[in-house]
A and B are shown apart, each in its own frame.
Chain A
Amino acid sequence: MVSSQTTEQRALAVAAAVPDPEIPALTIADLGILRAVEIAEDGGVIAHLSPTYMGCPAVLAIELAVTTALQEAGFQARTERILSPPWTTDWITEEGRRKMAAYGIAPPVPEGRVPDCPQCGSASTEKLSEFGSTACKALWRCTACLEPFDYFKCL
């Protein structure tokens, strides 16, 4: 029991450190995509991952990166895609939100609120487009510093 817990924790640490391919400043644990790590009966590691968007092209890349990272750390590994409950931006950690803003992407805010500019911090911002460079982002502009910025959509 003690040794199996250590294995699980070690595997979790390895998987949690895998960067997101689209926002490499964040790990998949920061984004809440990594739900759990499970030790199978055959001793292999199963990483449970929740896709942000179903058609997100990064899903396969993330699954491959997690499997590879675990294998390089000496585990026999595979991933499982978890759709239910669906991923939500609420699962992004506080640390994740901080890193996101530092990277220049405004973290999600509740419906009806506007995001602060990640460049200058101003609250006077406006939406340019509901859809941005990737499925999870919208395009906004700061009316104070006039810089456009990505906003991580609330889902």
Chain B
Amino acid sequence: MASAEDIFCGLLRLADDHLILGQRVSEWSGHAPQLEEDLALSNIALDLIGSARALYQLAGETEGKGRDEDQLAFLRDERAYHNLLLAEYPNTDFAHTILRQFYFSSFQQLYWQAALESTLPELAAIAAKSLKEVAYHHRHAADWVIRLGDGTELSHQRMLAAEANLAPYLGEMFEKDALAGRLADAAILPDPAELQAAFAADRANILTRASLPVADIESRLSGGRSGRHTEAMGHLLAELQYMQHRFPGQQW
């Protein structure tokens, strides 16, 4: 049986993935390699943060302690964020950014597809809305992975480096701990382990077209789901939470 506490924690994981990756992608605003890409990344960040808001609202209502989306997004300590480590991975260069986006979008597209069947109708509604948006992100990121992987010697080297650095984080997306198991049994959230095969097929297809090697999906680095983060997370939160720390309770 999944308790209200379970549902809250499960929604928080999902919301944190979107907020933290949205924050990361938004760091490109004004700095992207070209104007069109600046617009694309800013729009993707907005979509991710939009999904995060809806998920935090639903999580707050489920928790029933009066915490709203802002309190959940801005007023928690690092250990209370339960996002995937992939989401907090630093932008590094455009190759890392776009490959990270491809991996997350590929996973999330499968996740939302499965979440359409959720027994929690509010979540099914968010899934239907987000699914349309993530399809654009997926197509955009996959196009770039192919173009850069199969591009110049330099772009190919950069994509190889990005793939080597990000591969160890992929397994975490499919980890099914006790909480994920209870939520999957209650058909509230999709079973992450069941998404791995379809993800692997999508990844293999795009990486092959990008002339990049397809390494196994590893689970070498994880911990985000239980609040154990990489060093990069503290820096991200310092910027994300700055306004609320400087002016507590500030609204605009």
Contact = CB atoms under 8 A, between A and B. Distances in A.
Given A53-B46, A55-B51, A57-B46, A86 B36 contact: no
A54 B49 CA distance: 8
Contacts of A86: 125, 128-129, 132
A129 B40 contact: yes
Contact of A139 (B36, B126, B129, B132): B36
Q: Report whether over half of chain B's contact residues are helix, strand or loop; otherwise say mixed.
A: helix
B234 interface: no
Contacts, number: 68
Nearest to B55: A54
Contacts of A56: 46, 50
Contacts of A55: 45-51, 53
Nearest to A87: B129
Contacts of B125: 83-84, 86
Nearest to B52: A55
B50 A128 contact: no
B129 A83 contact: yes
B29 to A, nearest CB: 12
Contacts of B50: 53-56
A85 B48 CA distance: 19
A54 B121 CA distance: 17
Interface string A33-68: 000000000000000000101111100000000000
Interface stretch (B85-93, B133-141, B224-232): B133-141
Contacts of B126: 54, 83
A145 interface: no
A131 B130 contact: no
Contact of B36 (A83, A85, A128, A153): A128
Interface string A115-136: 0000000000000111111110
A16 B122 CA distance: 26
A81 to B, nearest CB: 9
Interface in B97-123: 121-122
B160 interface: no
A92 to B, nearest CB: 15
A131 B144 CA distance: 14
A155 interface: yes
A155 B43 CA distance: 15
Nearest to B128: A86
A54 B133 contact: yes
Interface string B26-49: 000000000010011001111111
B45, B47, B48 interface centre (most CB from chain A within 10 Å): B47
Given A84-B128, A129-B36, A54 B140 contact: no
B40 A54 contact: no
B51 A84 contact: no
A84 B39 contact: no
B212 interface: no
Interface in B137-185: 139-140
A131 to B, nearest CB: 4
Contacts of A135: 43, 46-47
Nearest to B139: A130
Interface of A: 51, 53-57, 83-88, 128-135, 139, 153, 155
12 contacts: A54-B50, A54-B129, A55-B48, A55-B53, A83-B54, A83-B126, A84-B129, A86-B132, A130-B40, A130-B136, A131-B140, A155-B132
Interface of B: 36, 39-40, 43-51, 53-54, 121-122, 124-126, 128-130, 132-133, 136, 139-140
Given A55-B50, A135-B47, A139-B36, 4 more contacts: A55-B48, A86-B132, A139-B39, A155-B132
